[in-house]
Amino acid sequence: MMLKDKERTSDLISSDRVEGTAVFGADGDKIGNVQEMLIEKIGGQVTDVVISVGSFLGMGGELHSLPWSKFSYDTDLEGYKLDVTEDQLRKAPAFKQADRETAHDRDYQTTVYEYWQVPTYW
C-alpha cells in the first residue's frame, strides 16, 4: 500500500532523503551537504554522518565524519544544523573521496570523537 505524503509520520525519514541535505554551521551559513550516514550494525542506530565540505558538484573538497549527536534538524533552514563553526569543522579530522573507507576506521573514529569531545558509541 502506497502512503500519501500527508500520511507519512513526521518523525521518520528515509536515508535517501537525508543524503544531499544541506548542513549549516552555528551561524546559520551553509557549510556542506550530507554524503552518507553510518549505522551501527547490531543496534541499528545512526552513529555518524559524513558531510562534504568545499566540493563543487560533488567533486573535490573534503569529507568529515561527525557524531550524529552534533546534528539537529532545523525546519526553517530545511537542513541539518551543527553547533560548530566552519573553522572548527575545517580543523577537524578529514579525508578525501578516494579514501571513503577512512570513516569506518576505528582509529579515525577515535580521533573524531576526541576532537568533538563526544563519548564514543562503542
pLDDT score, position 48: 96
- Rounded average pLDDT over 61-74: 94
Residue ranges making up the domain that contains 66: 15-108
pLDDT at 2 over 70: no
Query: What is the pLDDT confidence band of residue 7, given thresholds at 50, 70 and 90?
Result: low
The model's pTM: 0.84
118 Cα distance to chain centroid: 15
Q: What is the CATH number of the domain that holds 49?
A: 2.30.30.240
- Rounded average pLDDT over 64-90: 94
Tell me if 33 is assigned to some domain. Answer: yes
Tell me if 53 is assigned to some domain. Answer: yes
Cα four-point dihedral sign 40, 19, 113, 116: negative
Q: pLDDT per residue over 33-57, tens digit each?
A: 999 999 999 999 999 999 998 765 5
Instruction: Express as a percent the part of the chain with pLDDT over 70.
Output: 87
Tell me if 119 is assigned to some domain. Answer: no
Tell me if 1 is assigned to some domain. Answer: no
Bridge partners, 49 (sequence order): 37, 66
Task: Give counts: helices (H), strands (E), the chain.
Answer: 3, 6
pLDDT at 115 over 90: yes
CA distance 120 to 68: 11
Tell me if 118 is assigned to some domain. Answer: no
Tell me if 95 is assigned to some domain. Answer: yes
Tell me if 87 is assigned to some domain. Answer: yes
Which contiguous run of DSSP H or E holds residue 50?
strand 46-53
CB 30 within 8 A of CB 23: yes
pLDDT score, position 15: 86
Q: Please state the domain count of the chain.
A: 1
Query: Which cell numbers in the block locate residue 115?
Result: 576532537
Phi–psi pair at 68, nearest 5 degrees: -55, -35
- Rounded average pLDDT over 100-106: 93
Tell me if 98 is assigned to some domain. Answer: yes
**Phi/psi-derived region of residue 119, left when phi > 0, alpha when psi is between -120 and 50, beta in every other case:** beta
